Structure 1
Amino acid sequence: MSSEMVMVMVDAIPFPPQITTTKPLALFGTGLTDVEVHFLQIKYNAIGIYLEETVVEHLGNWKGKEGSDLAEDDGFFEAVASAPVEKLIRVVIIKEIKGAMYGVQLEGGVRDRLAAVDKYEEEEEEALEKVSEFFQSKYLKPDSVITFHFSPAPLTAEISFVTAGKGEAKIKVENANVVEMMQKWYLGGSTAPSPSTVKSLAEGLAKKLAA
């Protein structure tokens, strides 16, 4: 269908409506990470959330709910993150940042979530350090792309980084606890770094649940 070729624009950054990994994943939500400083909105990243369409089979408890209600329901996002389907989070850099800074943010967010549920042991620390080291040497220029591809069985993540003039760099994360909390870092409802992405994802899934 020709409509599938129409890109979804997020602050002038194009996101394909579908990405095929081992199977087609649909774009369910988009947004930005940003901060307001002295009345100026500083945009850091554009985000696209891709999921298998079968994710709705695991969200039956929320059928018929409005997107605005789902956006306020952390239990709903817990169910989305826990659903045993493929997920892909595409992050496109808007404001350049050192990879080390991004890695520290990711490491801190995941570590705090693991510690809160008493799952931060030596194995998790080692896996997180490898992720942080992966970003350490990177420079996140505008239009660079970070992709988190989550596979459900067994629960693993592949992180890739692509920037102009360099080949793709990848790392695989096989610690299930770390992978779970990496999903929840972006899909964590009220604790996620991008409220606009959370709201968009809730609305996208509400439409699918209403179909």
Structure 2
Amino acid sequence: MATEVVMVDEIPFPPQITTTKPLNLLGHGLTDIEIHFLQIKFTAIGVYLDPEILSHLQQWKGKQGSSLAQDDDFFDALVSAPVEKFLRIVVIKEIKGSQYGVQLESAVRDRLAGADKYEEEEESALEKIVEFFQSKYFKKDSVIAYHFPATSPTAEIVFTSEGKEDSKIKVENANVVEMIKKWYLGGARGVSPTTTSSLANTLSAELSK
């Protein structure tokens, strides 16, 4: 577990943040975005979890990080574990918020449709998130934070950009919240392979202690 600031592509991530309780940085990585057929580094990600997560992952004790990274059941257990989770996502490549909103919308919608959970309520919840990002401009070093409480199937999204007040939106549709978690924390099917392998290696080491 990190005790010092971790640098992800020159962006600092504190080893711990406190929401309702201290959460530890247990995974980090990058996402890419395709611009004019080139893959460009888009965001740096820090995944903060309540250390209590380990008690929900005991059946994977002794497994190597490389095998956990390919194990969908492991990441499903991580996503569904009733512990607090926090994603801190820092913008590397400046883009319009609407571009990110569209990315999120199609990823979440595809996952919902695949699980047969895409109904009017989900569509409307997703539209609100897309609208929230529509008016934002993602300058370099802007931060998108996702806070997933332990006890309720909701999410709070906070967007922070230099010189502007924080903007927030609460997502109360449990199916949409689950698929946002799976987009970022979904293992081999997640948006960031580097984050998946970082989480798998850290959790493998923590479980073997």
Report the TM-score, using the length of structure 1 for normalisation.
Answer: 0.94
Instruction: Answer whether contact 2:2 2:25 (CA < 8 A) is retained.
Output: no
Q: Which of 14, 17, 24 in structure 1 is aligned with 2:15?
A: 17
CA distance in 1, matches of 2:176, 2:32: 25
1:7 aligns with one of 5, 8, 13:
5
Q: In structure 1, the residue corresponding to 2:204 is in which secondary structure?
A: helix
Deviation at 1:207, TM superposition (A): 1.0
Query: Which ranges of 4 or more aligned residues in structure 1 deviate by more than 4 Å?
Result: 35-38
What is the DSSP-based 3-state SS (H/G/I as helix, E as strand, rest coil) of the residue aligned with 2:125?
helix
Deviation of 1:190 (Å): 1.4
Aligned ranges 1:1-211 → 2 under 5 Å: 6-34=4-32, 42-211=40-209
Q: Distance in 1 between matches of 2:39 and 2:133?
A: 25
Residues 181-206 of structure 1 deviation map (CA, whole Å, 9 limit, x = unaligned):
11001011111111001000101111
Q: Deviations over 1:9-55 (max 9, x none)?
A: 001100000010001110000101126889x7621100000000000
Q: Count residues with an aligned counterpart.
A: 209
* Root mean square deviation, CA, Å: 1.9
Gaps of 5+ in 2: none
Question: Residue 125 and residue 41 in structure 1: after superposition, are their counterparts in 2 closer, same or farther (change >3 A)?
Answer: closer
Deviations 1:132-183, CA, capped at 9 Å, x for gaps = 1000000001000000000132211000000011010000001111111110
CA deviation after TM superposition for structure 1 residue 5, in Å: 6.7
In 2, distance between residues paired with 1:128 and 1:115? 13
Counting aligned pairs with the same residue, the percent is 64
SS of 2:86's equivalent in the other structure is strand
Question: Does the Cα contact within 8 Å between 2:50 and 2:84 map onto a contact in 1?
Answer: yes
Q: What is the identity, as a one-letter code, of the residue corresponding to 2:79?
A: A
SS of structure 1 residue aligned to 2:7: strand
Write the distance in 1 (CA, Å) between the matches of 2:33 and 2:103.
15
CA distance in 1, matches of 2:70, 2:167: 36
Gaps of at least 5 residues in structure 1 are none
